Structure 1
Amino acid sequence: MSGSLARQHILVTGGGSGIARAAAERYHAEGACVTILERSASHANDVVSGSGGAIRSIVGDAMDPEVLASAVELASDSGGALHHLTCGVGIFDFYAQIHELSPDGLVAAAGESWRMNVLSALLAVNIAHSSLARGAGSITLTVSESAFNAVGGGVLYGSSKWAVRGMVEHLAAELAPLRVNGVAPGGTSGTRFGGLVALGQTASADAVEGRDQRIARATLLGITADPIDHAGAYRFLADPVDARAVTGMIIRSDAGRRM
């Protein structure tokens, strides 16, 4: 397949479901050699099967440095070069209210939120950096509408995504000439977005009754996005030709979400 993603080697963390899966499948459709890191074996198998075996997977914890190192190695080309990293691991807080939590519960929930939404991306960048440097590569972080407005989650989720928003600019400055950008999706249907184990939140965000209708009413476009609606933003930022001069930027694919 021709095109500027053809033969690009790309790793997507959390690529077994939701927005990260849509991004991985878009990269594959445009000719990239895609590997996903996913902790759910069934989700990983779904992606691999859906691609006819072309997308490769590693099943494991994105917070495990050894697992991440194995994923980077598998995703890189024969010369050890990785051309793009998309960080898609995340966890939701189901609008947890600070004043309703015990101090111990707050400490546990905040630590879990920060580890999954912030540290997982930092660790992936840390471990993938040398391979990305060999590939003159790029990085796309998954931000959120919650990094711009007090919507789409509680303060635990929102503050973690504000941190990821800051990471985009800091890493763009630190890692140049590697390009570092972000996509900030708005509320999205069909993501299998899980909650905080520390707070016993076992359902996915989609289970909240009336969520899709509420999100649509709060957008200028009057829609609730599906994961595939964000994939084009990820594809653009991963493209070494179309996005050659783009770094430190965040694309807000939030359907015009406003306070």
Structure 2
Amino acid sequence: MSETLSGQHILVTGGGSGIARAAAERYHREGAKVTVLNRSAGGAHAVAESSGGAIRALVGDATDAGVLRDAIAAAADAEGRLHNITCGVGVFDNYAKVSELSSEELLTAAEEVWRVNVRSTLLAVNLAVPALRAAGGSVTLTLSESAFNAIGGGVLYGSSKWALRGIVDHLAAELAPEIRVNGVAPGGTGGTRFGGLSTLGQTMTADRVEGRDERIAAHTLLGFTATPEDHSGAYRFLADPVDARVVTGVVIRTDGGRRL
């Protein structure tokens, strides 16, 4: 087992499934002490079980300040230091069209998307700053190909990911030189499930609708559909205090060379 992250204490929000889970498991394989915060008890227990209990799994809502505060304290080392926080919480809009929503639906859906995708990230960083500063640590945000092009979601989802793209730049400037801030922008990925907007009565989106993987592959330069594990190397690199020592304000696009 490689130990490039040996001694690092890392918290992953939304780490019970999909790309965030793959990042958490990669951190663990690289020697980090990993804590996952996940709203679904099933997801939390699954990642803990798959690691033989080595990954600590907490059940809770990452949009709640009290839950986040407790998770940060649990993830930090004995001296209260947190070396990285990876924000992987997100909700998908199932391509909802602003022009087809009532004004009431739009307002409630927009509030949900921004609360989960944007405000939870800002809150997590806000609460983690003292522990990150003590460690000279880093922040890794999860964006999307939707942060660069009008693909991979509707206006609500896409605009939240564009916001996170701006947050990477602004937080990198604000928190330098003690804390590095970067992001990963995955493209379409197989083997994942999205949480839909509860305010619109959306259910979980299946990871495999007919022809989805083929459509994703056809629109990438590399010609294949990524798995969650394919993105984990970018997360590992950005969390590494040696390899990524001079990297901040950067978004790595792990989209297979997405083309329009």
Shorter-chain-normalised TM-score: which range? over 0.9
RMSD: 1.1
Q: 1:86-111 CA deviation, whole Å, 9 max, x = no partner?
A: 00000111111111100000001111
Task: Name the residue aligned to 2:68.
Answer: 68
Unaligned runs of 5+ in 2: none
- Whether contact under 8 Å (2:238, 2:247) holds in the other structure is yes
Task: Name the residue aligned to 1:82.
Answer: 82
Task: Name the residue aligned to 1:245.
Answer: 246
Q: Aligned-pair distance for 1:205? A: 4.8
- Whether contact under 8 Å (2:220, 2:255) holds in the other structure is yes
Task: Name the residue aligned to 2:95.
Answer: 95
Give the share of equivalent positions with the same residue, in percent.
Answer: 69
Q: Secondary structure at the match of 2:185?
A: strand
Task: Name the residue aligned to 1:185.
Answer: 186
- Name the TM-score, length of structure 2 as normaliser: 0.97
Task: Name the residue aligned to 1:228.
Answer: 229
Task: Name the residue aligned to 2:256.
Answer: 255
Please list every run of at least 4 consecutive aligned residues from structure 1 whose deviation after the TM superposition is greater than 6 angstroms: none
Q: 1:139-192 CA deviation, whole Å, 9 max, x = no partner?
A: 000011001011000111100000000000000000112000000000111112
CA–CA distance in structure 1, aligned partners of residues 74 and 21 of structure 2:
18
Q: 1:34-62 CA deviation, whole Å, 9 max, x = no partner?
A: 00000111111110010011000110000
**Counterpart AA for 1:131:** A
CA–CA distance in structure 2, aligned partners of residues 88 and 205 of structure 1:
18
**Counterpart AA for 2:57:** S
Unaligned runs of 5+ in 1: none
1:51 aligns with 2:51: yes
Report the more deviating stretch, 236-245 or 193-202. Answer: 193-202
Task: Name the residue aligned to 1:123.
Answer: 123
**Counterpart AA for 2:76:** S
Count of residue correspondences: 259
**Counterpart AA for 1:250:** V
1:135 aligns with 2:135: yes
